[in-house]
Chain A
Amino acid sequence: MWRGDSGGGGFVGYEIESQVGMVVLDAMREIQRSQAKDLAVRWNCKAAKCGCCAAEVNGRPRLMCKTRLDDFQPGEEIRVEPMRAFPIVRDLVTDVSWNYEVDKRIPPFTPKQDAVWRIGQEDVDRMGEFRKCIECFLCQDVCHVLREHQLKNGYFGPRFMIRIASLEMHPLDALDRTELTGGEAGIGLCNITKCCSEVCPEGIGITDNAIIPLKERVADRRYDPLAALMRRLGRARWRQGSAR
């Protein structure tokens, strides 16, 4: 396990006896009880719902409560470290507050003036996937734009593409966040490597179902000459997937 703080640290080895059904979080708790009594780690629900226990296990961003020990061989070394894309607080606890600040820059749900509150289940289902996000930030952690290139001032990250998509696809939302998506949110920096989709513990198709459709909207808005003409002529309001 990685131990240390913002000043630095390193890996320390621990041994525990594994039991049937044990997950990495259980192992952390056992180590906290018996060996590393001052271990700093976030955890809460132990049921893959709260998003607290995000970490990197053998180099892969994972929820500790959902990573079974029997995924590994007995005696195999299991390396647990904090999410490397974020500043370290201590041990496995990182400072993820940048994400909460980004959230504030996305205009929230704003109902249409004359909204009739009848929604089809198909519309609900379209957004349903995005609503599952537990904000574990594993996708943010793995995204090379944020992690390697440190472009936190240029790209909001996959989690917030999901958030924007869930708002844009709400049939009764009055706002248009396309400019934000292509501009400040920096969707252009995503080059569809799909690492985010791979690590999402909720199985959300981040790239295919949110990022690519949003990219298409931005492209239509900015680069489609016919659409631009129509807009200038004031004949149509272009909103894809809009309310019936």
Chain B
Amino acid sequence: MEAEHDVLVVGAGLAGMRAAIEAHDAGADVAMISKLHPTRSHSAAAEGGINAALGNAEEDSPEDHAFDTVKGSDYLGDQDAIQILCEEAPEDVYQLEQWGAVFSRAEDGRIAQRPFGAAGHPRTAYAADITGHVLVQVLYEQVLKRDLKIYEEFFVWKLVEHEDRCQGVIAWNLLDGGLVSIGAKTVILATGGAGRLYTGTTNAYACTGDGMAMALEVGVGLEDMEMMQFHPTTLAPTGVLITEGCRGEGAYLLNSEGDRFLERYAPHAMELASRDVISRAEQTEIDEGRGIDGNVLLDLRHLGAEKILERLHGTRELSMVFLGVDPVFEPIPVRPGAHYHMGGIDTDVWGRTALEGLYAAGECACVSVHGANRLGGNALMETITFGKRAGAHAADWALSHTTIEVPVSAEADADRELRELLGRAEGERPWSIRNELAETMHDNFGVFRREAEMLEQGEIVASLRERYNHVVVEDKGNVFNNDLTQTLELGFLLELADCMVVAGIERKESRGAHARPHDHPERDDENFLRHTIVTWRDGAPKLNWKPVTVTRWQPMERSY
């Protein structure tokens, strides 16, 4: 063992940093470990805002926030968890402000709140259009203030399971090379999502679902894996995200005929309907020939140059740099892109998993607060509130237990596996496997899903996994070997794809982001008001079900 800690947080984005801060403040010896410098984490790309029932714009309440979230989740969200999120949110946002987060303000100097998708009252607090970025800076400052240890540019590859506890991790040192094992009484996974499963994704390259796959490998279940949110406004071909904030400020979505087509899909909420509803609407328009080169148009022109420059400056920049389109004068071509993974590691409301000592928080976890579809602004809130809760609970647990053991066999096994991989002299390079995975997932497991295509995707993934067994890493060096880390990431992605497809096939209904308009177009509460749980048995996914926790709101028809 290289080192030992009470709490080891894997991933240093918002959820990871918030968990580490909380665990430290609870008295534990905390360290973070991340394959990136913390401020490079994808949390920093979040733009639109963070939801809390502060009641600054309009009268609001945690109950209203909770109901909007429950409805937004298409009733798949666990209502006890949602109530906790909405009740704790206001305090957590004020805490961020007191740590120096500079939110945009209302006329009276209080934190401003703006309308966002599927929200009954405007409750999205924001920092211009760089909310995630500002929060990452604020949390990083708090991390530095507490002088927390960070293992930077260490690629965590495996969790150590010993005597029915998670007791640490095994990681590859990206800067100098070599495997290290770090023991910990508790491990909190905060590794984010897996958008890199798809070609058109808003996610950064590092979003490869590492934590989810590692949890899977130590026997922990993954929940609602089929639920991948497609964000309605992404740029082709890069997948760069255009924030929902545009629509919050009043932008329109138009098809090739110049119509605000949402009139036909979500007549009340229009452009501020739930993301899954809008993505499906866009995809339908595109599929039925009313798109332009596979896109629809996001029109900001009527907002006027002043408003665009003041509130949507970042959007304008992105549009001009990556597409050469100035939204002051022209509409922006956009299309749905894989954006956020509602599914993830099955946890309870304290971030605990089925393996003692192992926690998860943020996008990689599934509590579930988002169910089958996430509201814009709730993800940032989740990272803070549940990051905090996981940190608190993990610290508590760690402080009441004494031993850590990373068995030599765990280190030896990892070492052997790695040497075998690096020792291979020839084989297929991971690039082609990764590209094929992303393209086929896009085609066969995208916005709309069909049984035949999903079954085919299952076979494609199986054959890609077989090819992966013979993959070659050509860079045999020690210093900054990202050929190796990309290969290991691909291994994770393939396992997750397998789980997603299995879950998607078995959920024989349409709910939230899982849309099967051809064979199961309706939501089926009688049979499917439950979560899919996939566990790993003998190298393959095995499916089970878990009921949804309903406390206050019985499922109703969901329309916007």
Which residues of A come within 8 Å of B, CB atoms?
Answer: 5, 21, 32-33, 37-38, 40-41, 43-52, 66, 68, 89-91, 93, 100, 103-104, 108-109, 111, 115, 117-121, 124, 127-128, 131-132, 134-135, 167, 170, 173
B128 engages A109 (CB within 8 Å): no
- Chain A residue at smallest Cβ distance from B431: A33
Whole-angstrom CA separation of A37 from B474 in the bound complex? 7
Residues A21 and B110 in contact in the complex (CB < 8 Å), given A44-B36, A50-B45? no
| B141 in the interface (beta carbon within 8 A) | yes
A131 touches B127 (CB 8 A): yes
Q: Knowing A109-B141, A170-B102 are in contact, say whether A47-B238 is a contact too (CB < 8 A).
A: yes
Residues on A with C-beta less than 8 A from B237 are 21
Q: Is B440 an interface residue (CB 8 A)?
A: no
Indicate if the CB atoms of B482 and A48 lie closer than 8 Å. Answer: no
* Bound Cα distance from A109 to B142, whole angstroms: 9
Residue B63, interface by CB 8 Å:
no
Is B105 in contact with A121, judged by CB distance below 8 angstroms?
Answer: yes
Check: B175 CB closer than 8 A to any chain A CB.
yes
Cβ contact within 8 Å between B45 and A51: no
Residues of B within 8 A of A109 (CB): 99-100, 138, 141
A-facing residues in B205-261 (Cβ within 8 Å)? 205-206, 237-238, 240-241
Query: Do A40 and B141 have beta carbons less than 8 Å apart?
Result: no
| A93 CB contacts on chain B under 8 angstroms | 480
- B102–A131 contact, CB under 8 A? yes
Q: Which residue of B lies closest to A120 (CB)?
A: B109
Are B40 and A21 neighbours in the complex by a CB distance under 8 Å? no
Quick one: closest A residue to B137, CB to CB?
A131
A134 to B314, CA, bound (A): 13
Q: Please tell me if B428 contacts chain A, counting CB pairs below 8 Å.
A: no
Chain A residue contacts of B431, Cβ below 8 A:
33
Q: Which of B354-382 contact A (CB under 8 A)?
A: none
Set A46, A49, A100, A119: member contacting B238, Cβ < 8 A: A46
Which positions 103-133 of chain B face chain A at CB distance < 8 Å?
103-105, 108-110, 127-128, 130, 133
Q: How far is it, in angstroms, between the C-alpha of A205 and the C-alpha of B424 when the chains are bound?
A: 51
A50–B42 Cα distance when bound, in Å, is 7
Residue from A40, A51, A118 in contact with B480 in the complex, judged by beta carbons closer than 8 Å:
A40
Question: Considering the chains assembled together, what is the distance between the CA atoms of A119 and B56 in angstroms?
Answer: 14
Classify chain B's interface size.
35 or more
CB distance from A142 to the nearest CB of B (A): 20
Asked whether B477 lies within 8 Å of A38 as measured between CB atoms, the reply is: yes
Task: Report the bound CA distance from A37 to B471 in whole Å.
Answer: 14
Tell which of B41, B45, B110, B474 touches A38, judged by Cβ atoms closer than 8 Å.
B474
A residues in contact with B482, CB < 8 Å = 40-41
Residue pair A104, B144 in contact (C-beta under 8 Å)? yes
Note all chain A residues with C-beta closer than 8 A to B137.
131
List the A residue with the shortest CB-CB distance to B140. Answer: A103
Distance to closest chain A CB from B113 (angstroms): 14
Tell me which of B44, B142, B480 contacts A90 (CB under 8 A).
B480
What chain A residues lie within 8 Å of B42 (beta carbons)?
A: 44-45, 50
Within 8 A of A (CB), among B476-530: 477, 479-483
The answer to whether A47 touches B45, judged by C-beta atoms less than 8 angstroms apart, is: yes
- In the complex, A33 Cα to B241 Cα: how many Å? 25
CA distance A45 to B39 in the complex (A): 12
Query: Chain A contacts of B133 at CB under 8 A?
Result: 49, 131-132, 134
- Alpha-carbon separation in the docked complex, A47 to B238 (Å): 8
Distance between Cα atoms of A80 and B263 in the complex (Å): 49
Sample of 11 A–B contacts (CB below 8 Å): A37-B483, A38-B475, A38-B477, A38-B481, A46-B204, A47-B318, A103-B144, A108-B142, A109-B99, A128-B128, A131-B137
A90/B479 contact (C-beta < 8 A), A46-B240, A128-B128, A170-B102 known:
yes
User: Which of A5, A91, A108, A124 contacts B102 (CB under 8 A)?
Assistant: A124
A159 to B308, CA, bound (A): 27
Which residue on chain B has the smallest CB distance to residue A96? B37
Known A-B contacts A37-B474, A131-B127; the reply to A111 vs B98 at CB < 8 A is yes
Q: Report the Cα distance A57→B133, complex, angstroms.
A: 26
Central interface residue in B36, B97, B480, by most chain A CB within 10 Å:
B480
The contact string, 1 if C-beta is below 8 Å from chain A, for chain B 141-163, is 11011010000000000000000
Q: Quick check: A47 and B479 within 8 Å, CB to CB?
A: no
In the bound assembly, the distance between CA atoms of A231 and B555 in angstroms comes to 67
**Interface 1/0s, chain B 27-42, versus A by CB < 8 A?**
0000000001101111
